[in-house]
Amino acid sequence: MSDLLANLNTEQHQAVTLPPQHALILAGAGSGKTRVLTTRIAWLISSGQCDPAGILAVTFTNKAAKEMLARLSAMLPISTRGMWIGTFHGLCNRLLRAHHRDAGLPQLFQILDSADQLAAIKRLLKTFNVDDEKFPPRELQHFINAQKEAGLRPDAVEAWDDYTRRRVELYREYETQCQRESVVDFAELLLRTYELLERNEPVRRHYQRRFRHILVDEFQDTNRLQYRWLKLLAAGDAASGTPGACLFCVGDDDQSIYRFRGAEVGNMRDFEREFQVANVIRLEQNYRSHGNILDAANAIIRHNSGRLGKNLWTEQGAGEPIRVFEAFGDSDEARWIVEEVQQLVREGALRSDIALLYRSNAQSRVLEHALFSAGIPYRVYGGLRFFERQEIKHALAYLRLIANADDDTAFARVVNFPTRGIGARSLEALQEAARTYNTSLYATVPHLAGKPGTVLAQFVRLIEDLRRDTARLPLPELVDHVLDSSGLRAHYKAEKEGRERLENLDELIAAAANFVAESQADAGALGADHALLADFLAHASLEAGEHQADQGMDAVQLMTVHAAKGLEFDAVFLSGLEEGLFPHENAILEAEGLEEERRLMYVAVTRARQRLYLSFAQSRMLHGQTRYNLRSRFLEEIPEPLTRWITPPKPRGSAATGFGGYYEPPRGAFSSRPAAPPAPVPPRKNTGGLQVGQLVSHARFGKGVIIAAEGSGADARVQINFGDAGIKWLLLGVAKLEPCN
């Protein structure tokens, strides 16, 4: 046990060995948070204070849960099996499956991911002939999720205006639809579980009695409902003399980056107040990053207001300067990154210790292309994730229909895929009938007469045959059989671009085999036919698949900043540091949004151990359009002495920007997309040496970027994005424009 506590600093030691009371650990980036959490669990168990079955540990990502389990089994001589470790959603799924009857759900309920949910809402709007211009599906989705996260069922929502009243009605209909189809969305997983525990005393008491220590990772990212869920589980029960559980919450308000999905940083303060937390421990010593990187992170986050306050420090030296690179275009940026990566590898770095981070998934393509051309192995996390690909979703839809024929979302997805002559019209008729009979689409088919009825009946027979033929098959063979009999394989075989999709379908079989292998221990306990299938489907929804190529290979890591939270790398490249991209344009206008972007930047910077590379491009292809962005304000927030600018090779004829040094930032400017598609650049002599993408200054409007140019001679004019001052067309002969360095 003394081994366990060796090498912990004073604060870490204190946190790990706290008496059984509520505790809040404010853990800065790289301060050994995961270590404290796992060591705490190991210490509780090995000191005999708690049985493994008394531990409940909640994380936010499956990755984090897995890592915690791995570390624990390395630390403890005993099995980790009795512990409950998982994500909120994963644990709720487990509870609901175990108590499905009490929760009012069939055992084989399905889980909708956000895309499924959106599709279900669109279908709902269609059935009720709702104008989707007035009620945009995405907005309605957000509304419904927000209500659920506030713990509100339709009856409890207060609606003061007609618009909201209508949305509440649609919320109610959505619930009915989900219940009828036996599907549950992410927010519902949480709310259902919460209600189950709240209303069902025996069940609640059972878990309250069982869990003695509840440990929460990334507490700053919990939403209101998750917090209430924790409160309920941790509460004692005076009547039966059950003492409450100890809540051990670890978080960092500066790393709260999930406000968009309802995370409530205020939970940290509420927790401290409501539980009268006497033990608040700050972990401020950083073991990860060199001084320059840490100073940069501290300087950036200082621009935010209302922080709980923390200052990271390190015993390590300043280390290397932060390298900053300005590229002309996104592909130049990618090329430069690849060259630097190659250099690092030549110097002996492991590829897997190098991460390429970006704000949004769309940015990964250019990087992937450059890496691929250079023959560097890489691995992309997130993005179009495995279980979200269309061919996989189609295959899963067939599997879902086998497990649960009432799943209308799955039905609608594949009833005419591959095409079998069931178009929009037939489907509409079926939906109409389904409403009158109040049955699922599948169950309605026998009621339908006429030609469409025949074709539909054939589809139903196909599903029924599948269900019968696969009942005794092992999961991978079941999937294989479905791929063939559904015609999916044949369809993609015939398609020109279908090869990759076919490979992915084969991957699905592999994923099924993998799933069986991993859950083998539990498999014997499942009695019902296709129960393992239902488990696999839940797995597919909850864990959309870290399923990139060769697992074991030493590969460069590509991911969004969100996905990088909790991870660390020797070298980190953060690309696309441009206004509109990072900070993202949708977040720029609201103060709250901007602060969240800044926290995201803080997270990104603190991922790096030794080297940090920051880059941006003057022009970038995004959504099929070339955009010209100003550099990110976050770059300006890093003190100059910490950085070293790297000069890009100068293309012929262009005025240099950012040459060799640090230049005065265009304060307060923000970018926007060009009002008109950029015109072809006129001959250079007409623009007086100016170029699209260049930074210029104007006496009245200040600094801006040229986003388009047209005309020639006396008519030559350029369109300039002046940020705050707006976008203007200026005649070159009239306006005095100064190239800006």
Q: Are strands 643-646 and 569-574 parallel, antiparallel or unpaired?
A: unpaired
Q: Which of residues 324, 475, 544, 612 is near DNA by CB under 7 A? A: 544
Q: Where are the beta strands (DSSP E) in 101-145?
A: 110-112
Q: Which of 12, 33, 408, 413 is catalytic?
A: 33
- Distance of alpha carbon 194 from alpha carbon 177, whole angstroms: 21
- What is the token pair recorded at 616? 């941006």
User: 253 an active-site residue?
Assistant: no
Considering only the stretches 25-33, 254-262, 458-466, 726-734, report the one whose residues sit in contact with DNA under the rule CB under 7 A.
254-262
Considering only the stretches 198-206, 280-288, 622-630, 710-718, report the one whose residues sit in contact with DNA under the rule CB under 7 A.
622-630
Residue 61 engages DNA in binding (rule: CB under 7 A): yes
Residues 602-621 touching DNA, rule: CB under 7 A, are 621
Q: Which of residues 406, 407, 535, 543 is near DNA by CB under 7 A? A: 543
Nearer to DNA, 30 or 90 (CB): 90
Considering only the stretches 21-29, 86-94, 505-513, 706-714, report the one whose residues sit in contact with DNA under the rule CB under 7 A.
86-94
Nearer to DNA, 94 or 282 (CB): 94
User: 506 an active-site residue?
Assistant: no
Is 28 annotated as contributing to ligand binding? yes
Q: Whole-number minimum distance, CB 253 to DNA, in Å? A: 16
Is 393 annotated as contributing to ligand binding? no
User: 715 an active-site residue?
Assistant: no
Nearest 5°: CA angle at 309, between 306 and 310?
150
Q: Which of residues 587, 603, 706, 709 is near DNA by CB under 7 A? A: 587
User: 34 an active-site residue?
Assistant: yes
CA neighbours closer than 13 Å in the CB half-sphere of residue 452: 17
Is 487 annotated as contributing to ligand binding? no
Considering only the stretches 5-13, 441-449, 560-568, 683-691, report the one whose residues sit in contact with DNA under the rule CB under 7 A.
560-568
Q: Which among 577, 708, 575, 689 is positioned nearest to 630, based on CA atoms? A: 577
Considering only the stretches 473-481, 589-597, 631-639, 681-689, report the one whose residues sit in contact with DNA under the rule CB under 7 A.
589-597
- Distance of alpha carbon 662 from alpha carbon 324, whole angstroms: 10
Residue 426 engages DNA in binding (rule: CB under 7 A): yes
Q: Which of 217, 252, 578, 596 is catalytic?
A: 217
Place of tokens 């090995």: 46
Residue 560 engages DNA in binding (rule: CB under 7 A): yes
Residue 32 engages DNA in binding (rule: CB under 7 A): no
Residue 672 engages DNA in binding (rule: CB under 7 A): no
- Distance of alpha carbon 663 from alpha carbon 640, whole angstroms: 10
Helix or strand run (H / E) with residue 72: helix 62-75
Q: Which of residues 2, 305, 419, 551 is near DNA by CB under 7 A? A: 419
- What is the token pair recorded at 454? 């025949």
Q: What are phi and psi of 667, to 5 degrees?
A: -60, 135
Nearer to DNA, 322 or 622 (CB): 622
Q: Which among 43, 525, 15 is positioned nearest to 283, based on CA atoms? A: 15
Residue 675 engages DNA in binding (rule: CB under 7 A): no
Interface mask (CB under 7 A) for DNA, residues 346-385, using x and -?
A: -------------xxxx-------------------x---
Residue 458 engages DNA in binding (rule: CB under 7 A): no
Residues 6+ apart with CB under 8 A from 685: none
* CA-to-CA dists, residue 611 to 31, 291, 300, 413, angstroms: 18, 11, 17, 47
Number of chain residues interacting with DNA (CB under 7 A): 51
Q: What are phi and psi of 637, to 5 degrees?
A: -85, -5
Helix or strand run (H / E) with residue 622: strand 608-622
**Contact between 460 and 448 (Cβ < 8 Å):** no
Residues 255-294 touching DNA, rule: CB under 7 A, are 258-261
Q: Whole-number minimum distance, CB 428 to DNA, in Å? A: 8
Residues 186-245 touching DNA, rule: CB under 7 A, are 186-187
Q: Which of 218, 252, 332, 597 is catalytic?
A: 218
Residues 99-158 touching DNA, rule: CB under 7 A, are 113-114, 132, 138
Alpha helices in 160-258 (DSSP H): 162-181, 186-199, 201-210, 224-234
Sheet containing strand 727-731, edge to edge, reads 727-731, 717-721, 702-710, 695-698, 737-739
Residues 6+ apart with CB under 8 A from 11: 281, 282, 283, 284, 285
With 0-12 CB in 10 A as exposed, 13-18 as middle and 19+ as buried, what is 465? exposed
User: 33 an active-site residue?
Assistant: yes
- Distance of alpha carbon 404 from alpha carbon 669, whole angstroms: 53
Residue 573 engages DNA in binding (rule: CB under 7 A): no
Nearest 5°: CA angle at 131, between 125 and 134?
115
Q: Are strands 702-710 and 378-380 parallel, antiparallel or unpaired?
A: unpaired
Nearer to DNA, 13 or 63 (CB): 63
Q: Which of 12, 87, 177, 255 is catalytic?
A: 255
**Contact between 693 and 621 (Cβ < 8 Å):** no
Residue 683 engages DNA in binding (rule: CB under 7 A): no
Is 299 annotated as contributing to ligand binding? no
Is 241 annotated as contributing to ligand binding? no
Q: What are phi and psi of 191, to 5 degrees?
A: -65, -45
Which residues of this chain interact with DNA, rule CB under 7 A?
A: 60-63, 87, 89-90, 113-114, 132, 138, 186-187, 258-261, 359-362, 382, 390, 416, 419-426, 429, 452, 542-544, 560, 562-563, 584, 586-587, 593, 596-597, 621-625
Residues assigned a catalytic role: 33-34, 217-218, 255, 607
- Residue ranges for the known binding site are 27-34
- Residue ranges for the known binding site for ATP are 27-34
